[in-house]
Amino acid sequence: MTTGTAYKLLSEADWAAAQTAGITASAVDLADGYVHLSTAEQVRETARRYFAGAGRVRLLRFELAGLGDVRWEASRGGDLFPHLYGPLEITKANAAWWLLPGPDGVPVFPRIL
């Protein structure tokens, strides 16, 4: 399935690097060989697990159509996650937000998600 939306979370440092390079390249993406993305249903848990205590976090939303080689692969709990095998150009984001940490350190999402 290559339709619908996917989300990418980036630390402030990864966002700054992405702005310079034009593409995302977080350490986990480089190590795994693909860009980790999440669906709307998955992104809050991804934020809780991997970005709690990280301070301000950038959230980008992308349309899957036109991103390139997106594969749905089993990950956390057997759920299928979208993984992009190729560069993720930040100019393809159709929305972006800064998420601030809540009292527990977990990023707080906008009401629209």
* pLDDT tens digits in sequence order for the chain, 113 residues long: 567 999 999 999 999 999 999 999 899 999 999 999 999 999 999 999 999 999 999 999 999 998 999 999 999 889 999 999 999 999 999 999 999 999 999 999 998 77
Predicted model pTM: 0.94
CATH number of the CATH domain containing 36: 3.20.170.20
Classify residue 111: in a domain, yes or no: no
Concatenate the DSSP letters of all residues of 18-30 into one string.
HHHHSB---HHHH
Q: Where are the beta strands (DSSP E) in 1-113?
A: 5-11, 35-36, 57-63, 70-74, 80-84, 95-99
pLDDT value for 51: 97
Question: Residue 21 and residue 15: Cα distance in Å, rounded?
Answer: 10
pLDDT value for 112: 76
CB atoms < 10 A from the CB of 9, how many? 23
Classify residue 107: in a domain, yes or no: no
* Residue-number span of the structural domain to which 82 is assigned: 5-99
Question: Residue 80 and residue 74: Cα distance in Å, rounded?
Answer: 4
Classify residue 104: in a domain, yes or no: no
Q: What is the tally of structural domains in the chain?
A: 1
Classify residue 105: in a domain, yes or no: no
Residue 6's Cβ-side half-sphere holds a number of Cα atoms within 13 Å equal to 25
Q: What order do you get walking across the sheet with 57-63 strand by strand? A: 5-11, 57-63, 95-99
Classify residue 108: in a domain, yes or no: no
pLDDT value for 1: 57
Classify residue 109: in a domain, yes or no: no
